[in-house]
Amino acid sequence: MEETEVVEETEVAQPPPRAPADSPEPEHQPPQPQAPGSGHVAIALYDYEAAEENELSFPEDAVIEDLEFPDEDWWLGTYKGNRGLFVSHSSHLFNY
Protein backbone atom coordinates (compact mmCIF):
# COMPACT_ATOMS: atom_id res chain seq x y z
CA MET A 1 0.00 0.00 0.00
CA GLU A 2 1.39 3.32 -1.07
CA GLU A 3 1.04 6.32 1.22
CA THR A 4 -0.40 9.46 -0.28
CA GLU A 5 0.71 12.73 1.11
CA VAL A 6 -2.08 15.27 1.45
CA VAL A 7 -1.00 18.83 1.19
CA GLU A 8 -3.45 21.47 2.21
CA GLU A 9 -3.47 24.66 0.19
CA THR A 10 -3.15 27.71 2.34
CA GLU A 11 -3.18 31.31 1.29
CA VAL A 12 -0.01 33.17 2.01
CA ALA A 13 -0.63 36.77 2.91
CA GLN A 14 1.38 39.13 0.80
CA PRO A 15 3.22 41.88 2.65
CA PRO A 16 1.90 45.38 2.01
CA PRO A 17 3.73 47.33 -0.66
CA ARG A 18 6.67 49.30 0.60
CA ALA A 19 6.25 53.00 1.06
CA PRO A 20 8.14 55.06 -1.49
CA ALA A 21 11.58 56.15 -0.44
CA ASP A 22 11.78 59.55 1.15
CA SER A 23 11.41 62.01 -1.64
CA PRO A 24 12.74 65.54 -1.50
CA GLU A 25 10.31 68.32 -0.70
CA PRO A 26 8.65 69.59 -3.86
CA GLU A 27 9.95 72.93 -5.04
CA HIS A 28 7.76 75.94 -4.41
CA GLN A 29 5.35 76.12 -7.30
CA PRO A 30 3.80 79.38 -8.44
CA PRO A 31 0.05 79.54 -8.39
CA GLN A 32 -1.42 77.70 -11.34
CA PRO A 33 -3.45 79.49 -14.00
CA GLN A 34 -7.01 79.94 -12.84
CA ALA A 35 -10.21 81.01 -14.47
CA PRO A 36 -11.36 84.54 -13.67
CA GLY A 37 -13.39 84.62 -10.47
CA SER A 38 -11.31 81.75 -9.10
CA GLY A 39 -11.57 82.78 -5.46
CA HIS A 40 -8.29 84.69 -5.27
CA VAL A 41 -7.73 88.36 -4.60
CA ALA A 42 -4.52 90.28 -4.14
CA ILE A 43 -4.03 93.20 -1.77
CA ALA A 44 -1.46 95.73 -3.00
CA LEU A 45 1.49 96.15 -0.65
CA TYR A 46 2.43 99.48 -2.28
CA ASP A 47 1.50 101.73 -5.19
CA TYR A 48 2.27 100.26 -8.59
CA GLU A 49 2.49 102.43 -11.69
CA ALA A 50 2.13 100.61 -15.03
CA ALA A 51 5.19 100.89 -17.24
CA GLU A 52 3.56 99.31 -20.32
CA GLU A 53 0.08 99.48 -21.89
CA ASN A 54 -0.76 95.92 -20.82
CA GLU A 55 0.07 96.55 -17.13
CA LEU A 56 -2.25 97.53 -14.28
CA SER A 57 -1.76 100.59 -12.04
CA PHE A 58 -3.11 100.63 -8.49
CA PRO A 59 -2.58 102.31 -5.10
CA GLU A 60 -1.37 100.72 -1.87
CA ASP A 61 -4.07 98.50 -0.27
CA ALA A 62 -5.96 98.14 -3.59
CA VAL A 63 -8.01 94.94 -3.87
CA ILE A 64 -7.15 93.30 -7.20
CA GLU A 65 -9.69 90.72 -8.36
CA ASP A 66 -10.25 88.12 -11.11
CA LEU A 67 -6.68 86.89 -10.84
CA GLU A 68 -4.87 84.70 -13.29
CA PHE A 69 -1.27 83.54 -12.90
CA PRO A 70 0.48 83.42 -16.29
CA ASP A 71 3.84 82.92 -14.56
CA GLU A 72 5.42 83.26 -11.14
CA ASP A 73 6.60 86.87 -11.58
CA TRP A 74 3.57 88.43 -13.29
CA TRP A 75 -0.11 88.11 -12.41
CA LEU A 76 -3.12 89.31 -14.35
CA GLY A 77 -5.93 91.04 -12.48
CA THR A 78 -8.67 93.63 -12.45
CA TYR A 79 -8.79 96.84 -10.41
CA LYS A 80 -11.65 99.34 -10.77
CA GLY A 81 -12.67 97.90 -14.14
CA ASN A 82 -9.14 97.99 -15.58
CA ARG A 83 -7.44 94.70 -16.39
CA GLY A 84 -3.71 94.19 -16.77
CA LEU A 85 -0.50 92.55 -15.64
CA PHE A 86 1.29 93.46 -12.44
CA VAL A 87 4.40 92.26 -10.65
CA SER A 88 3.42 89.46 -8.24
CA HIS A 89 5.66 90.67 -5.39
CA SER A 90 3.76 93.99 -5.31
CA SER A 91 0.81 92.32 -3.57
CA HIS A 92 -0.23 89.63 -1.16
CA LEU A 93 -2.47 86.79 -2.38
CA PHE A 94 -5.61 85.78 -0.48
CA ASN A 95 -8.13 82.98 -1.06
CA TYR A 96 -11.77 83.57 -0.29
Contacts of residue 49, defined as CB under 8 A and 6 or more positions apart, other chains included, come to 57
Residue 16 is assigned to a structural domain of this protein? no
| φ and ψ of 87, to 5 deg | -70, 125
Segments forming the whole domain that contains residue 47: 40-95
The CATH number that applies at residue 58 is 2.30.30.40
Residue 12 is assigned to a structural domain of this protein? no
CA-derived radius of gyration, the chain: 29
Specify the number of domains making up the chain.
Answer: 1
Q: pLDDT tens across 4-61, in order?
A: 665 555 555 555 545 445 544 444 444 444 444 457 899 999 999 999 999 999 999 9
